[in-house]
Structure 1
Amino acid sequence: MVARLLSLPLFVILMGAGALAMLLPALHAYIESDMETARVFLLSGVIFLLLTLFVAVATADYSPASTALSHMIALVAAFTILPAMLAVPFMEAVPGADFGDGYFEMVSALTTTGATLYDDPGSLPRAVHYWRALVGWLGGFLMWVAAFAILAPLSLGGFEVTSTSEAGQRARGEFSFIQVAGPGDRLIKYAGRLFPVYTGLTVLLWLGLTISGENAFVALCHAMSTLATSGISPVGGLSGGTAGIGGEVLVFFFMFFAISHLTFAPDQSRRRLNAFLNDPEFRFALVIITVVPLLLFLRHWTGALEQSPVSAPLTALRAAWGSLFTVLSFLTTTGFESVSWADSAAWSGLQTPGLILIGLCLVGGGVATTAGGVKLMRVYALYIHSRRELDRLVHPSSVGNLGVQARRIRRQGAYVSWVFFMLFTLSVAAIMSALALTGLSFESSLVLTVSTLSTTGPLADIGGEFAVKFAFLDDWTRGILIISMVLGRLETLAFIALLNPALWRR
């Protein structure tokens, strides 16, 4: 029976998972005696389970000519069509919300962007907050599984930097082991492997935040948002919670899971400590989260001490921690702001500290993680290629070292990284132009574009001189941002790969 269910089309399985997930907010609302919200989620779950059953029966004998292509299309549909189903209970449970509001919220949550139309947390029932965090958590898990089962075999999602195949083609070399089974078998295999680890880490962080003094419900939402890098919070961020610095320290260490593809690598031996220490993504991220906070901290060190000689040491510590936490948070595209970030901005004396956060979001986290952005591996490939070119200017006859893999990253990897960077830049230009046509200013267009393309919704609040509120945007602007969120989550190369004739022929 289980094998029969797992043989269904991927989108049907995702529909069933989304319908079943609606029962959890229903149970939560029932426990809190919010019967109206419980009824909405319960009925929605039952109705969509029946709809999933009908679709499953209709597609039971469906066998696509190309399973890889079918799964790629299902992945696109998961971020464009599935939110329409997930938006129904949201629309019914929130007073005054329409379908457009619910659809925007669900696309934002499922793509782990975390942008919201409701800046006042009190305007939403607690079960709805839980629903947003849960959808974001499930969206993060979907991307983690899809990265290894769907994108890696096609040399997409950042794997094209180290793969010996061209982007959109079947992988060879490093990822040849995943070609033994079909795409459906790989999905089942990796989902079974990753779900216990993903859930266990979430539960561990939840318990840690609760012990730190956070409310159990808020701690659960923050734990799910940290592992999914969605930045969704029922209290407006970590500053609205009660865990304090202890909670931030816990979240800080768990955000490291979003800076390296080795975190959930299929090969267990690659998760050892020496593998992480030699991983270019991990090392490059360490350089960024060390250098950027250090520059912010040292910029006006003398001036800050002279202005407040008594409280300067304490202010310095708060500023150092605020910059360290916020830099890692936005580098992983989580978007949680430290309670001490205001002290960091004031300490550094920068007039526009949000520009640094915009740059960090553009860089993004690791390959095959829930983070968005250009990705650390691609930036690293461009860096070592540039360094090698500079070496050749000084020593034209020199030979590059570090082995075959390093040469692959310096040459083909750097080339495809540059292509992706240009496509990403063109996407930024196109979306900014579209937003400008709706009447938004240059600054607002830039912040919203980077916020959605890098899947870092909270950036809209602190990226510019003034906060940009999604609630005040018109329907056309929201539609553009929805396209930007889906494009940022799946990446431009994945959409271009769908146009590859060889993929359709297979």
Structure 2
Amino acid sequence: MSGILYHFSLVLTGIAVALLLPVAVAASYGETVALVDFGLTAALTSVVSVSAAIALTGRERRLVHKNGYILLIMVWALVPAIAAIPVVLITGLAPIDAYFETVSGLTTTGATVFKTLDPLPRAVIFWRAELQWIGGFLTLLSIVLILAPAGVGGLPGRQIRLLETSERTDISRATQIVLDTATAYGAATFICFVGLFVIGAPAFDAFCLTFSTVSTGGFMPRDGDLSVYGLPALEVWLAIFMVIGATSILWHRMVLQRRFQLLREHRESYVLIAGIVVLGVLTAAVLFQAAGSASVLSPLSALREGLVTAASMVSTTGYETRTGGLALLPLPLVLMVIFIGGSAFSTAGGIKAYRFGAMATQSARELTRLLYPHGIRPAKFGSQPYDMQLMKAIWSHFVVTVMVLGIITLVVAGEAIDYENALLATAATFSNIGPVYESQWQTGVRHWQLFEEFGVVAKLALCLTMIAGRLEMLALLGAVNGLIWLRR
């Protein structure tokens, strides 16, 4: 348990440092109340984290897989509670609403209980965006340090060493991976911000959009959609980084290191990009048809908006190029795309394209077996060896996910919420793409409740769903089993 608490204290230290940025924003905009509340929260968090680290000096710090699961659930469940403190103090939100907002931010879901952002202090808007950036980084660390090495849900972990770029022996392998991941994540953030600033986005908006895009989060710094900026180049630039966020960080490293053999075998990212292109063309056709004529929306503009929307859906970011753009698409198609999500080693949500591809491969093998019972079939899909142990893990993850989401849907619907609402809200929060629920799906529905209208039980259930989407469902169950074991 001491190892769990020690590493959690390190996370709290990082949160305390992160709280200083909203303090700086509040100071620059003359928001005195926000400055004091964020400053006090940062100070209290620092005291707690430093005290815990001192108290645990000399104790065991190593984490086994079971303890790693418990650490993850503590981070995803408790850090938002700390992050919600200044939100409650500044905005006057109910604690459950503030917690929902910060869970949504940290899990990069982008669902919000705010009807409008106009009255909010800039420091709060910045904090929402920064939480998403932190959550994206924590997502990558969770995958490469805990989930993939443990093979949770069939995650492939044998190529994680690609993330190591140095041969230093004075630091641990885990520390080296953290530093290398932080460097890559920070570089992407810097390049994205510079591009947005050069294109013409205001500095504050550029920061917030960068944090939301690199993490595939979806929070906007102002009301409306991307069209409020009137900058087509901005949409294209964001689409590029949404694609980067949706594809595997291992693939990014293969490209930079010119590992051509591995690049040929790593099919997931290529299939994902091809899927974005196909979906983008289909979306462009739908948008062009809805516009009615080329004078309203030119074919080139429709193609641009279609590709941006497709990248937004596959990366589970949730940006829209026009209000209600996602609602123009067939709901089953949207549900399927967001449920699959992006690559296994990415900040995107969903069950991951890797698992979907594995299940499709096995299904094809079983169909072929019916025709050719004694045929010889390949034992790999892409660069990943195919074996029944792997497929058992993937199918177990899929079945448990579907069962849990079905239960959550019924719980949400039990709060006097229409079933259509409950189904899409559950799918959107699990896939960490909250804005898709808030698109204009109201047509033909009796009453389309927004997140702020949900009851306490429904909001708590959706918070659990957002955390489950980030933890991988089986890791959440492993954490629960670990907590039970600790109480014995």
Does the alignment pair 1:207 with 2:194? yes
Does the alignment pair 1:45 with 2:42? yes
Match of 2:425 among 448, 470, 474: 448
Deviations 1:291-335 (A, max 9, x none): 33334455798x789x64x638x5333332222211221111111
Deviations 1:125-146 (A, max 9, x none): 1111110111110111011112
Does the alignment pair 1:220 with 2:211? no
Deviation of residue 30 (structure 1)? 0.6
Match of 2:109 among 106, 113, 117: 113
Normalising by structure 1, we get a TM-score of: 0.84
CA contact (8 A) 2:284 2:302 kept: yes
Aligned pair in 2 of structure 1 residues 304, 100: CA closer, same or farther (>3 Å)? closer
CA contact (8 A) 2:405 2:426 kept: yes
Match of 1:145 among 136, 141, 146: 141
Does the alignment pair 1:259 with 2:264? no
CA contact (8 A) 2:308 2:321 kept: yes
Which residue of structure 1 lines up, in the alignment, with residue 386 of structure 2? 409
Deviation of residue 46 (structure 1)? 1.4
Deviation of residue 376 (structure 1)? 0.6
Which residue of structure 2 lines up, in the alignment, with residue 167 of structure 1? none
Q: Which moved more, 1:372-381 or 1:38-47?
A: 38-47
In 2, Cα distance between equivalents of 1:8 and 1:479:
25
In 2, Cα distance between equivalents of 1:114 and 1:38:
24
Match of 2:357 among 376, 380, 391: 380
Which residue of structure 2 lines up, in the alignment, with residue 232 of structure 1? 219
CA contact (8 A) 1:357 1:463 kept: no
Letter matched to residue 306 of structure 2: S
Aligned pair in 2 of structure 1 residues 68, 393: CA closer, same or farther (>3 Å)? closer
Which residue of structure 1 lines up, in the alignment, with residue 84 of structure 2? 87
CA contact (8 A) 2:8 2:75 kept: yes
Letter matched to residue 470 of structure 1: F
Aligned pair in 2 of structure 1 residues 237, 250: CA closer, same or farther (>3 Å)? farther
Deviation of residue 106 (structure 1)? 1.1
Q: For 1:81, what is the secondary structure of its paired residue?
A: helix
In 1, Cα distance between equivalents of 2:324 and 2:417:
27
Q: For 1:132, what is the secondary structure of its paired residue?
A: helix
Following superposition of structure 1 onto structure 2, how do residues 174-323 of structure 1 map, counting pairs within 5 Å? 185-236=172-223, 238-239=225-226, 241-242=228-229, 244-263=231-250, 272=259, 275-276=262-263, 278-297=265-284, 308=293, 311=295, 314-323=297-306
Aligned pair in 2 of structure 1 residues 387, 404: CA closer, same or farther (>3 Å)? closer
In 2, Cα distance between equivalents of 1:65 and 1:428:
33
In 2, Cα distance between equivalents of 1:155 and 1:407:
13
Deviation of residue 223 (structure 1)? 0.8
Aligned pair in 2 of structure 1 residues 162, 370: CA closer, same or farther (>3 Å)? closer
Gaps (5+ residues) in structure 1? 1-5, 164-172
Q: Which moved more, 1:268-277 or 1:38-47?
A: 268-277
Letter matched to residue 117 of structure 1: V
In 2, Cα distance between equivalents of 1:144 and 1:107:
17
Deviations 1:426-475 (A, max 9, x none): 12210011011111111100111011111111011127335642111121
Deviations 1:398-432 (A, max 9, x none): 21237587683364433322221111111221001
Q: Aligned pair count?
A: 476
In 2, Cα distance between equivalents of 1:290 and 1:268:
20
Letter matched to residue 38 of structure 1: L
Which residue of structure 2 lines up, in the alignment, with residue 361 of structure 1? 338
Aligned pair in 2 of structure 1 residues 367, 100: CA closer, same or farther (>3 Å)? same
Match of 1:488 among 466, 469, 472: 469
Deviations 1:233-273 (A, max 9, x none): 11135425426210011111111223332447777876646
Aligned pair in 2 of structure 1 residues 89, 67: CA closer, same or farther (>3 Å)? same
CA contact (8 A) 2:380 2:386 kept: no
Letter matched to residue 119 of structure 2: S
Q: Which moved more, 1:192-201 or 1:255-264?
A: 255-264
Q: Which moved more, 1:410-419 or 1:7-16?
A: 410-419
In 2, Cα distance between equivalents of 1:250 and 1:454:
23
Which residue of structure 1 lines up, in the alignment, with residue 67 of structure 2? 70
Match of 1:9 among 6, 10, 20: 6
Which residue of structure 1 lines up, in the alignment, with residue 311 of structure 2? 328
In 1, Cα distance between equivalents of 2:312 and 2:66:
34
In 1, Cα distance between equivalents of 2:389 and 2:220:
41
Letter matched to residue 31 of structure 2: D
Deviation of residue 64 (structure 1)? 5.8
Aligned pair in 2 of structure 1 residues 273, 236: CA closer, same or farther (>3 Å)? farther
Gaps (5+ residues) in structure 2? none
CA contact (8 A) 1:262 1:271 kept: no
In 2, Cα distance between equivalents of 1:220 and 1:194:
20
Letter matched to residue 311 of structure 1: S
Aligned pair in 2 of structure 1 residues 311, 135: CA closer, same or farther (>3 Å)? same
CA contact (8 A) 1:209 1:243 kept: no
CA contact (8 A) 2:162 2:254 kept: no
Aligned pair in 2 of structure 1 residues 270, 396: CA closer, same or farther (>3 Å)? farther
Deviation of residue 493 (structure 1)? 1.2
In 1, Cα distance between equivalents of 2:284 and 2:133:
34
Deviation of residue 150 (structure 1)? 1.2
Deviation of residue 14 (structure 1)? 0.8
Aligned pair in 2 of structure 1 residues 274, 299: CA closer, same or farther (>3 Å)? farther
Normalising by structure 2, we get a TM-score of: 0.87
Aligned CA RMSD, in angstroms, stands at 3.4
